[in-house]
Chains A and B, each alone.
Chain A
Amino acid sequence: MSTSSSASEMLDSEFLGMRCRLIDLAASLDRIDRSDGAPPADPRMAQIRRGLEILAGDAPDRAVRVQLEFSLPYDSNLSPLAPRP
């Protein structure tokens, strides 16, 4: 199921919002840079960078892939079905 809009109609309606969110993100990164001290070697910064790489690519399902980037891996030992030690 999808709407009847063409891709260019969809771009028309999404463009300003996308532009705004991208500038917001750029400004957040700048704000971190301008804060005291060196940019933190924090794994969250690497997650943000990998998220941006997903956006820059052409592959589909970007939202799912960004979500997975921010998810802990599923440890099957934690599964309630795993044999109990």
Chain B
Amino acid sequence: MYFIEPHIHIASRTTDDIQAMARAGCVAVGEPAFWMGYDRSNVGGFYDYFRQLTEWEPKRTANYGIRHFAWMGLNAKEAENVPFAREVIALLPEFLDKPDVLGVGEIGLHKCTKNELATLRELIELALGRDELLLFHTPHLEHKLMGTRMILDLLRADSRVNRDRVWIDHCEEHTIRLVRDEGYWAGLTLYPTTKVTPERAVDMIEIYGPERLLVTSSADWGPSDPLAITALMAAMRRRGHEESLIRRIVYENPLTFMRQCRRFDFTPPQ
């Protein structure tokens, strides 16, 4: 079965990983801009990273028949210095105009500070002003509930937000209902210790249904698995779910969400 990996940091993965994903049936990936493990020292560091995501990584995946889509944004860990963040945000429109860029992401909160929130407001403003899709990163561990609720509060206050076009990622058992009840797309992240396991993801699919649900590996430079989607597929089969439901989760849902981007031009294999 083909699958789409809608959230993976290809820039942090080896070519062997890309090849293994292609062999496992991956036909397209989404790569959000994120924190590369260290704070960039100047705005040029971001410029080069955005070029990497829109020029170099697409070539690397294309060698294995995987189509690459990127998201442009500034992560919360580097959002604390608001004037610096503003300089980075000024770079984004140039990249948002590129054909394989899906929207603004991943943006969000980390420790939920006032400065993070100030930067986040400017990023949301940029996205809504251009009618872009939005991808939100919710914080880790003990900050997740607080940060998810802050993001939902922020979006609820803005009448321009079309919830069909917003993906709130890294949901877990205690946040998925909040996100789904308000009509957003919810993302589940398959991480070995800090997020959800394939079995827990299947639990949430069973409890909440497949509507507006995306499951990803979010594989990056830390402990993570670029083939995590295949572990989810195996867990769903083991639990007796139909192939049509598996396909919906790993293929049709990502396509449905990504297709809302006016630049999205992809003929998926059947």
Residue of A nearest to B149 (CB): A74
B17 interface residue per 8 A CB criterion: no
Segment at the interface with B among A26-34, A51-59, A61-69 = A61-69
Report the separation of the CA atoms of residues A68 and B177 in the bound assembly, to the nearest whole angstrom: 13
Tell me whether A80 and B172 are in contact in the complex, defined as CB-CB below 8 angstroms, given that A1-B209, A3-B239, A63-B200 are known contacts: no
Q: Which residues of chain B (123-178) have a CB below 8 Å from chain A?
A: 141-146, 149-150, 153-154, 156-157, 172-174
Report the separation of the CA atoms of residues A4 and B173 in the bound assembly, to the nearest whole angstrom: 22
- The secondary-structure label for the interface of chain B is helix
Residues of B within 8 A of A8 (CB): none
Residues of B within 8 A of A78 (CB): 112, 146, 150
Instruction: Identify B141's interface contact among A5, A63, A70, CB under 8 A.
Output: A70
Residues of A within 8 A of B117 (CB): 80
Residues of A within 8 A of B150 (CB): 78-80
Report the separation of the CA atoms of residues A68 and B149 in the bound assembly, to the nearest whole angstrom: 13
Instruction: Decide if B149 touches A71 in the complex (CB within 8 Å).
Output: no
Interface residues on B, range: 20 to 34
Report the separation of the CA atoms of residues A75 and B146 in the bound assembly, to the nearest whole angstrom: 8
Residues of A within 8 A of B239 (CB): 3, 5
With a 10 A CB-CB cut-off, give which of B141, B150, B172 has the most chain A CB atoms.
Answer: B150
Instruction: Decide if B173 touches A2 in the complex (CB within 8 Å).
Output: no
Report the separation of the CA atoms of residues A75 and B111 in the bound assembly, to the nearest whole angstrom: 13
Interface residues in A, total, Cβ within 8 A: 20
0/1 interface trace, chain A 27-53, chain B, CB 8 Å (1 if under)? 000000000000000000000000000
Instruction: Identify A67's interface contact among B121, B143, B156, B172, CB under 8 A.
Output: B172
Using a CB–CB cutoff of 8 Å, the interface residues on chain B facing chain A are 112, 117, 121, 141-146, 149-150, 153-154, 156-157, 172-174, 200, 203, 205-207, 209, 238-241
A sample of 8 cross-chain residue pairs with beta-carbon separation below 8 angstroms, ordered by A number, consists of: A1-B205, A3-B239, A64-B173, A72-B145, A79-B149, A79-B150, A81-B153, A81-B154
Using a CB–CB cutoff of 8 Å, the interface residues on chain A facing chain B are 1-5, 13, 63-64, 67-68, 70-75, 78-81
